[in-house]
């Protein structure tokens, strides 16, 4: 049996950022960089992105590669003179509870109480390189890395003790922060290291199998929970620095707009106010936050924007007409449909949706000479460091990015926009600058989960088996594109297209869209054939893990019988990022009015060996609630380069009364390596609801779920 804690997780693909996560390019090219571009390439129309890329190549800067698994133990763990372990990881705590779950891993392997383990996270000066916190990679990749580091340290401590006692190391064990002999003598880790670094290389030490876990597999409370209930925790907007001043952007009035003219006389007349203009970048800096708001409010800027930009109504046609790369053969042209098979066609439309993290994008930037330090909320501190390097021509060694545990991101904070803006302002005024985006800026100037169109053509033979499956996805993304069902002729193609709105990653990314379309289509075929939806899926499922979660959920919700007359059930299943999920929904018809009411969700989830059952339950419930937004009401409304529902009032996110009864069934597979769990559990919520609602009438082939005729 292979070592389940090994980072070479058999069921995980090699880390592919592009496949799982879209990344938007940096927004700004400042004057400094434009001059550099002109010097290198001469005058001409400079496309911002092209300039940034070309400069990076021209200057020969290499993207850091492979530093994420440095074998140097001291880079990962230090035990101080009190026997307290400090553990470094470039991962970011965004509410997914990894500060606690990774502490469990280290405590377990190092045989230390959790109170003696402290994680130092997401500080580019202190932690080993990390690509970022996305793709549910922390548990399957970082946890095994820290487990190996901790186990290496533990074995070194045993070596030190054996050396000290001049005894056979095989007679020694480590437990509770001490090395212990068979006759009960002890040496504490503090005594052994005296605070000196344990130096050496992370080897392949014996790492516990999940069946031997003591701290993992239990549910200790969040390590710093008290800081949150007392308000003491400092997020980026709470960071202060001596001499801090405050920035505020003056934003264009629509996407793609260029700055024509500025009248900043009134702002400049305010005490201590500086107006900064660099190309289309326009902002104020003031001695107080309120003065910055007032100063930005009196800057008169005129913008000019391109006309006839696509709208939320026309964008689906736009995608099909605007491929980003040519030559993709549509799936529908690649399948063979046997004669006599019954075919099913549908086209599903997915709108853009917003992340709406409650902590807006924010940064505090400080220059000391040519060294730049930025505190900012991002899921990719090392990438933001690179962005800062490119924007300001400061070598990465002189840029430090620190991410305080975040008011979350949900995939929405992969870029360094606020960091770059704050750093530009701090450079202009020679003082540390804080910048906190407004909610309106969040809705307009961040990025969205991609909208998309998904066309499906399928064929079923006379025995009720699916024999052909063509799945063409425009723009939503490739995550979750592949069907888990066994179908002889199938083709599934992601067509990258141009996007009128800035778009990027989102929790579970395209897996939600792809599973919605696929599972709604499965349901439609089952209904048309008069076959039970669970039986129809099982007929095409070979994967026992997926069958197991489907069976667990069907059993728990009482499939196929709803709990009361007049109600209806729907069910869906899927697999994503090595997690297996099934979700069932129960809906009712309201006594007055039209539409439907969601009464109950049952979700079954299996992600291998469970590290923290309570943390997992919290994540699974939370992702169900977040998924309710996209399933029931979230959609960005836009036209003419403007967002038309960009406020918390107009853009509804799930609230208390939207939440139905949620029952979770967590399957713990101690024999399977742990997969990440922060994302996959949301992917089947929408199709479970959508297929349930079909009992009441025709449901639109779009998100959010709409009953269009009863």
Partner 1 sequence: MARYVLRVNGQDREVDAEPGDSLLSVLRYDFGLTGSRFGCGEGQCGACSVLLDGAAARSCVTRVGSVGAKSITTIEGLAGAAGSKDKASADKASLHPVQQAFLETEAFQCGYCTSGMIIATVGLLKTNPNPSEQDIARLMERSVCRCGTYPRIVKAVRLAAERMRMNNIVAGRTR
List all residues 6 or more positions away from 227 whose beta carbon is below 8 Å from its beta carbon.
Answer: 233
Out of 654, 673, 690, 704, name the contact with partner 1 by CB under 8 A.
654
Q: How many residues bind partner 1 (CB under 8 A)?
A: 56
Contact 218, 104 (CB under 8 A): yes
CA-to-CA dists, residue 560 to 464, 535, 550, angstroms: 19, 11, 13
Q: Which residue has the tokens 């594109």?
A: 481
Instruction: Please list every residue from 602 through 621 that binds partner 1, using CB under 8 A.
Output: 614, 618-619, 621
Residue 374 near residue 402 (C-beta atoms within 8 A): yes
Least separation, in Å, of the C-beta of 685 and partner 1? 11
Choose the stretch contacting partner 1; rule: CB under 8 A; options: 145-153, 325-333, 405-413, 495-503.
405-413
Q: How far apart are CA 225 and CA 237, in angstroms?
A: 19
Residue 125 or residue 227: which is nearer to partner 1 going by CB? 227
Binding of partner 1 by 271 (CB under 8 A): no
Question: Which one of 353, 356, 456, 666 is in contact with partner 1 (CB under 8 A)?
Answer: 356
Q: Which span sits near partner 1 by CB under 8 A: 128-136, 235-243, 255-263, 518-526?
A: 235-243
Place of tokens 């900043």: 264
Does 653 interact with partner 1 (rule: CB under 8 A)? yes
Q: For partner 1, what does the binding mask look like between residues 426 and 455, x meaning CB under 8 A?
A: ----------x-xx----------------
Compute the distance between CA of residue 546 and CA of residue 246 in angstroms, rounded to an integer. 52
Instruction: Tell me if residue 114 falls in helix, strand or coil.
Output: helix
Q: Among 6-14, 192-200, 248-256, 352-360, which window interacts with partner 1 (CB under 8 A)?
A: 352-360
Determine the Cα–Cα distance for residues 560 and 634; give it in Å rounded to an integer. 29
Query: Quick check: 414 and 379 in contact, CB under 8 A?
Result: yes
Rounded to the nearest 5 degrees, what angle is found at the Cα of 325, between the Cα atoms of 49 and 279? 15
**Stretch (H or E) spanning 159:** helix 143-165
Q: Which of 283, 315, 454, 625 binds partner 1 (CB under 8 A)?
A: 625
Q: Among 203, 269, 529, 648, which residue sits at the site for partner 1 (rule: CB under 8 A)?
A: 648
CB of 248 to partner 1, least distance (A): 12
Q: What is the DSSP string of 601-629?
A: EEEEEE-SS-S-HHHHHHHHHHHHHHHHH
In the bound complex, what is the minimum distance in angstroms from residue 442's beta carbon to partner 1?
Answer: 9
Shortest Cβ 290–partner 1 spacing (Å):
5
Query: Given the complex with partner 1, which of 229 and 339 has the nearer CB atom?
Result: 229
Q: Does 599 bind partner 1 (CB under 8 A)?
A: no
Beta carbons within 8 Å of 99's beta carbon, 6+ residues apart: 93, 119, 121, 222, 223, 224, 405
Q: Helices (H), strands (E): how many in the chain?
A: 19, 27
Segment lying near partner 1 (by CB under 8 A), choices 271-279, 468-476, 584-592, 622-630 = 622-630
Which among 514, 675, 524, 664 is positioned nearest to 583, based on CA atoms?
664
The answer to whether 408 contacts partner 1 (rule: CB under 8 A) is yes
Q: Does 83 bind partner 1 (CB under 8 A)?
A: no
By CB under 8 A, residue 228 contacts partner 1: yes
Taking CB under 8 A as the rule, does residue 238 contact partner 1?
Answer: yes
Q: Which residues sit at the interface with partner 1, rule CB under 8 A?
A: 94-97, 221-222, 225-235, 237-238, 240, 288-290, 356-360, 405-408, 410, 436, 438-439, 614, 618-619, 621-626, 628, 647-649, 653-657, 659, 662
């Amino acid at each position: 049996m292979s070592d389940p804690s090994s980072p070479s997780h058999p069921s995980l693909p090699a880390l592919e950022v592009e496949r799982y996560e879209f990344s938007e390019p940096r927004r700004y090219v400042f004057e400094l960089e434009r001059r550099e571009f002109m010097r290198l390439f001469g005058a001409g129309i400079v496309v911002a992105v092209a300039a940034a890329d070309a400069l990076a190549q021209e200057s020969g800067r290499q993207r850091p590669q492979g530093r994420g698994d440095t074998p140097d133990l001291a880079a990962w763990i230090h035990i101080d003179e009190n026997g307290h372990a400090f553990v470094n990881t470039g991962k970011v705590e965004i509410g997914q509870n990894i500060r606690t779950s990774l502490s469990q891993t280290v405590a377990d392997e190092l045989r230390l109480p959790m109170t003696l383990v402290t994680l130092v996270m997401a500080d580019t000066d202190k932690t080993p390189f990390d690509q970022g916190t996305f793709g549910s990679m922390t548990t399957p990749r970082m946890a095994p890395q820290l487990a190996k580091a901790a186990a290496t340290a533990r074995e070194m401590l045993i070596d030190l003790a054996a050396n000290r006692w001049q005894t056979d190391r095989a007679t020694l064990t480590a437990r509770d922060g001490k090395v212990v002999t068979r006759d009960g003598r002890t040496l504490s880790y503090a005594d052994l290291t005296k605070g000196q670094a344990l130096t050496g290389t992370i080897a392949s030490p014996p790492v516990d199998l999940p069946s031997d876990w003591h701290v993992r597999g239990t549910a200790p409370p969040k390590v710093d929970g008290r800081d949150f209930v007392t308000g003491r925790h400092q997020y980026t907007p709470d960071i202060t620095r001596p001499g801090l001043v405050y920035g505020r952007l003056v934003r264009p009035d629509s996407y793609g707009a260029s700055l024509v003219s500025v009248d900043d006389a009134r702002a400049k007349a305010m005490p201590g106010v500086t107006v900064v203009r660099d190309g289309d970048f326009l902002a104020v800096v003031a001695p107080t936050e309120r003065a910055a708001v007032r100063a930005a409010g009196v800057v008169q800027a005129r913008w000019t924007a391109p006309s006839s930009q696509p709208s939320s109504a026309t964008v689906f046609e736009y995608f099909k007409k605007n491929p980003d790369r040519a030559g993709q053969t549509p799936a529908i042209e690649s399948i063979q449909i046997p004669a006599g098979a019954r075919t099913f066609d549908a086209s599903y439309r997915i709108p853009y949706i917003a992340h709406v993290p409650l902590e807006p994008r924010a940064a505090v930037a400080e220059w000391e000479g040519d060294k730049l330090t930025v505190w900012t909320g991002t899921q990719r501190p090392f990438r933001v460091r690179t962005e800062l390097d490119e924007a300001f021509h400061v070598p990465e060694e002189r840029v430090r990015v620190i991410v305080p545990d975040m008011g979350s991101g949900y995939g929405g904070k992969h870029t360094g926009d606020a960091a770059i803006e704050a750093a530009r302002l701090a450079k202009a005024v020679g003082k540390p600058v804080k910048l906190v985006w407004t909610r309106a800026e969040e809705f307009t100037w961040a990025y969205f989960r991609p909208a998309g169109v998904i066309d499906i053509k399928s064929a079923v033979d006379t025995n009720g088996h699916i024999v052909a499956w063509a799945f063409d996805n425009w723009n939503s993304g490739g995550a979750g594109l592949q069907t888990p069902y066994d179908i002889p002729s199938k083709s599934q193609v992601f067509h990258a297209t141009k996007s009128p709105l800035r778009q990027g990653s989102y929790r579970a990314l395209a897996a939600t869209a792809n599973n919605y379309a696929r599972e709604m289509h499965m349901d439609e075929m089952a209904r048309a054939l008069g076959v039970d939806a669970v039986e129809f899926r099982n007929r095409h499922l070979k994967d026992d893990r997926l069958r197991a979660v489907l069976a667990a959920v069907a059993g728990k919700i009482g499939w196929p019988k709803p709990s009361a007359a007049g109600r209806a059930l729907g069910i869906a299943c899927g697999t994503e990022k090595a997690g297996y999920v099934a979700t069932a929904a129960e809906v009712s018809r309201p006594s007055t009015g039209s539409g439907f009411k969601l009464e109950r969700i049952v979700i079954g989830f299996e992600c291998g060996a469970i590290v923290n059952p309570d943390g997992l339950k919290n994540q699974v419930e939370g992702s169900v609630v977040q998924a309710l937004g996209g399933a029931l009401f979230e959609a960005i409304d836009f036209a003419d380069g403007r967002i038309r529902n960009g406020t918390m009032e107009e853009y509804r996110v799930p609230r208390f009364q939207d939440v139905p009864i949620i029952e979770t069934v967590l399957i713990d597979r101690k024999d399977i390596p742990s997969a990440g769990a922060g994302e996959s559990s949301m992917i089947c919520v929408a199709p479970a609801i959508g297929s349930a609602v079909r009992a009441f009438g025709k449901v639109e082939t779009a998100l959010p779920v709409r009953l269009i005729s009863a």
